[in-house]
Structures are given as structure tokens and as C-alpha cells.
């Protein structure tokens, strides 16, 4: 089973940070992606990255790579934002494409449930969106928002190693369960 992990955005992406500038989204996304890779490899899955730690990778390059590799699932990891100032928006949500396959929806539901259980954050649910990484991939694909950079409490969590590990373990647990469903 081949899994493509995408640390959303890139190291040079403008914006995509907490209002105080202490948290850049890619630093959270890539840290969690690295942990997810480690945990999934330990479970016997083959893991590839759609992103690059050194430079921004376009959305088209990410989805084309996943399609060429014929991976079994595409997992895009993000930290959310609502506007550019501190506010009360909070919680975790997982996205699928509006006409997503049953496999995408099943994977999204497993990941969302696992994250809520592990992280004890507000459950914003599984939602549908026309995001390029969901639309252009030819395999089950999800986009995860692990908390809001524009919420002071969640921004503090997103900076913590422990919270990053919680998110990564929850994502890995759900992806492993999905990958091995009916095979154990």
C-alpha cells in the first residue's frame, strides 16, 4: 500500500501564519507529515511526500506526482486560519471533494474521528470542498485542518511537540486502519 503525504503549502508560501508571526503553517504541516511518515512506515506502508522541505511545490506538481506514482491515498495536512487576526474560530475538520468516492469519505471519517478522540478539540466534521489536491488526484484524497492558527489557544497547541505527535499518531492510526481494512 502506497500513501502520499502532503505537508500543505510550502516553506516560502506568503501569509499562512499566526497573527503574531510565531507559527508558520508549513512548519506545523511538515513536522506532522514527518511523524506520520515515520509511524506509517513502522506499520509496513510505503510513504511518499508530495512536498519539498526546501522549496514550494505547486499544487499541480503535487497531484501529478501522486497520480504518476499511483498511490492508494493522498493525505494533505494543514493548520487552519480564519482571517488574519486573532478570533474564536476553533476545531478540527477534514475535507473531501464534493463528488468524493466512498473510499475518500470513509478515510476522512476515520481520520476525523481519530483526531477528535486523540486531540480533544471541537469537531467541525467532514466537509466538502473544491480544493485542487482533492479535485485533481485520482485516488482517495483528504485534506485535514488540525486547528486554527488564528485562535490563540490552538496556535499555542500547534507550536507544541506533544500536540504535533497527537495529531500524527491519530492520523497514522486512522490511515493504517483504512489501509488494512478487511485484511487482518
* Cell 506532522 sits on residue: 32
DSSP-derived 3-state class of residue 147 = strand
**What is the rounded CA–CA span in Å between residue 177 and residue 169?**
12
107 exposure class (CB count in 10 Å sphere: 0-12, 13-18, 19+): buried
Catalytic residue among 25, 93, 145, 154: 145
Burial class (CB within 10 angstroms; exposed 0-12, middle 13-18, buried 19+) of 103 = middle
Contact 78, 15 (CB under 8 A): no
Query: Could you give the 3-state DSSP secondary structure of residue 125?
Result: strand
Active site residue 145: yes
Strand order in the sheet with 73-80: 46-49, 2-7, 73-80, 141-148, 92-96, 123-128
Among all residues, which ones are annotated catalytic? 145
Amino acid at each position: 500500500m502506497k500513501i502520499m503525504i502532503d505537508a500543505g503549502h510550502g516553506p516560502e508560501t506568503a501569509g499562512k501564519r499566526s497573527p503574531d508571526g510565531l507559527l508558520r503553517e508549513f512548519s506545523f504541516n511538515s513536522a506532522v507529515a514527518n511523524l506520520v511518515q515515520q509511524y506509517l512506515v513502522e506499520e509496513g506502508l510505503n510513504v511518499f511526500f508530495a512536498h519539498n522541505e526546501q522549496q514550494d511545490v505547486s499544487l499541480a506538481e503535487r497531484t501529478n506526482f501522486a497520480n504518476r506514482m499511483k498511490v492508494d491515498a493522498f493525505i494533505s495536512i494543514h493548520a487552519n486560519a480564519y482571517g488574519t487576526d486573532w478570533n474564536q474560530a476553533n476545531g478540527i475538520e477534514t475535507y473531501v471533494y464534493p463528488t468524493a468516492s466512498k473510499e475518500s469519505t470513509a478515510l476522512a471519517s476515520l481520520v476525523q474521528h481519530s483526531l477528535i478522540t486523540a486531540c480533544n478539540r471541537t469537531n467541525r466534521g467532514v466537509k466538502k470542498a473544491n480544493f485542487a489536491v482533492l479535485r485533481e488526484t485520482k485516488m482517495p484524497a483528504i485534506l485535514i485542518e488540525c486547528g486554527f492558527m488564528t485562535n490563540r489557544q490552538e496556535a499555542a497547541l500547534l507550536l507544541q511537540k506533544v500536540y504535533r505527535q497527537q495529531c500524527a499518531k491519530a492520523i497514522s492510526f486512522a490511515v493504517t486502519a483504512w489501509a488494512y481494512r478487511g485484511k487482518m
